[in-house]
Structure 1
């Protein structure tokens, strides 16, 4: 008998008025943030933008979705590096969201993105998780082959809907004639 809670109608968090969790990363196209902001406006929802730093580990998770984290190497104090990354991400979000009425917060998380975003979504009772597709390239293809995609991991390991925003498009033109 499976004791893990499964997706079910009674577990659906209503979309209107409930939070959205959005995975962001440095250098990500603005379309992910803009899509999330427009959806949040429509749903009158607060947005939690979050970055999960794979070079850090979670030491403690808090009920509001924040985490206490440290570097993977205890002999190397890299607090300045992650704080600079956090500040750049917040500045980029402020730039993109400057004109919108969207209510939002930023969370700097640690470890695997699927686990970190799932924890945050659970903590804020999000109705949905939004992520962008990965950028193309050989290193990205190999990584996806070995690890799978973030969207697929999220969809397989928690009950909230996952919206995947395309960040690059292959134009499939059908020749006429």
Structure 2
């Protein structure tokens, strides 16, 4: 018999007021995702917890403050320097948030599957919701979604917090969708 998985219900609702919002980011860091999160934080008084989950690394240990100890998936492979990615993301966030002194924020560099990593962080900081960007536009985004699945869909199916998905590119309804 498999364990009972807690389901979304009113008793599990985390109020927006006074609770953080977890914002999933990627190295390209679309400004629209950051600005949407800022708008929501201003409306709710939330602290923003930006987080990147590096798929080339795996979590060794999860800590109560939302940080993780991680290691490369392939220790013999030529992996990108995660510290450089961490510094670049922090610098881009600081640049994009320089004009936003009224919103407090943190950044966490996570590892592994983004939906699991973001869920761990949300539990650790008792977040009320998530903000993430829709699939990365273009062929690379479609391939990544095909291989890994949609982070937004995975979050909505595997945890109880609301997920605000920020559209990054829309398709005109007048354009043909499939083969003619």
Same fold (TM over 0.5): yes
Alignment-derived partner of residue 135 in structure 2: 134
> Following superposition of structure 1 onto structure 2, how do residues 160-175 of structure 1 map, counting pairs within 5 Å?
160-172=161-173
Q: How many residues align?
A: 173
Change (3 A) 1:116 1:11: same
Change (3 A) 1:77 1:135: closer
How far residue 92 of structure 1 moved from its aligned partner, in angstroms, is 0.5
Alignment-derived partner of residue 99 in structure 1: 99
Change (3 A) 1:148 1:17: same
Contact 2:134 2:165 in 1 (8 A): yes
**SS at the partner of 1:49?**
strand
**SS at the partner of 2:14?**
coil
Q: Is 1:64 aligned to 2:86, yes or no?
A: no
**SS at the partner of 1:59?**
strand
- TM-score, normalised via structure 1 length: 0.91
What whole-Å deviation, never above 9, does each CA across 1:7-28 have from its counterpart, x for those lacking one? 0100000011110000000113
CA RMSD of aligned residues (A): 1.9
Contact 2:136 2:142 in 1 (8 A): no
How far residue 161 of structure 1 moved from its aligned partner, in angstroms, is 0.4
- TM-score, normalised via structure 2 length: 0.89
Contact 1:53 1:108 in 2 (8 A): yes
Contact 2:24 2:133 in 1 (8 A): yes
Alignment-derived partner of residue 17 in structure 1: 18
Distance 1:105 1:45 in 2: 11
> Following superposition of structure 1 onto structure 2, how do residues 9-158 of structure 1 map, counting pairs within 5 Å?
9-75=10-76, 81-100=81-100, 101-158=102-159
